[in-house]
Amino acid sequence: MERYPAKRNYYRTTVDGHFLLGGTTLSKSRMSVNRCPIIIASGICFRRQLRNIATLALSILALLSSLSAAAHHGTSTYDMNTEITLTGTVKEWTFGNPHTWLWLTVSTSQKPTEEWSIESAPPTYLTGQGWSPSTLKAGETLTVLVSPLKTEPRRAILLEVKRHNGETLVVRPRGSFGRPARVN
């Protein structure tokens, strides 16, 4: 069989109906003019290679989407069967998506102070419950009921807030949003 010089994105048909590219013979069963009009130097169909790359990209995108969904954890990373009461001063209250956060400076007998990072519900939910960005103010003294994070100390999820004037603000009512109806 005679060899033809290969040109980029160019192939020739031999007398016996095979395709020839740079000395590589490809049978009609593997390649066809209609199925693959462009062949790159390695003999791989360019269109098929693009399809494989697109499939890989979509697979990676799906994987990353599932990881971000797993990152949005709800209450699964918190020990919802443990409730801790903390009394302290509001250092900061952020009212933004995806969750609101309370940083509380707590005085303890072991250490002078500890700072707790306390995750709360999304602002859209809290707004429906009557909360706002000005509900909690820096310097205000609060008693909060929280469930601790399983993996890190001084991190928790907010269940209830009791203000100095006796007003109680409930974030997660008992029996809903991952909070058990009663604690053991």
Handedness of CA 24, 27, 30, 36 (dihedral sign): positive
3-class DSSP state of 7: strand
For 125-146, the pLDDT digits (tens) are 999 988 999 999 999 999 999 9
Residue-level pLDDT at 9 = 45
Mean of pLDDT values over 99-112: 88
Q: How confident is the model at residue 60 (pLDDT cuts 50, 70, 90)?
A: confident
The string of pLDDT tens digits covering residues 138-180 is: 999 999 999 999 999 999 999 999 998 889 999 988 888 888 8
Q: What is the CATH number of domain 84-170?
A: 2.40.50.140
In which band, very low, low, confident or very high, does the pLDDT at 46 lie, cut at 50, 70 and 90? low
| pLDDT of the residue at 57 | 81
- Which tokens sit at 22? 């740079």
- 40, pLDDT greater than 90: no
Q: Quote the CA–CA distance of 38 and 58 in Å, as a whole number.
A: 23
| pLDDT given for residue 14 in this prediction | 55
- Tokens, residue 5: 């010089």
**Measured CA distances, 60 to 33, 50, 51, 52 (Å):** 31, 15, 14, 12
Residue type at 95? F
Mark out the alpha helices in the chain (DSSP H runs). Answer: 46-71, 123-128
When pLDDT is cut at 50, 70 and 90, the band that residue 76 belongs to is: confident
* Residue 33 pLDDT class (50, 70, 90 cuts): very low
Domain ranges of the chain: 12-71, 84-170
Angle at 178 between CA 169 and CA 69, to 5 degrees: 115
Please give the mean pLDDT across all residues of the chain. Answer: 78
Token pair listed for 168: 């109680």
Quote the pTM value: 0.60
Residue 111 banded pLDDT, cuts 50, 70, 90: confident
- b/e 33-54 (16+ beta carbons within 10 angstroms → b): eeebeebeeebebeeeeeeeee
Residue whose C-alpha is closest to residue 84's, from 146, 160, 23: 146
Grade residue 181 by pLDDT with cuts at 50, 70 and 90.
confident
pLDDT at 145: 95
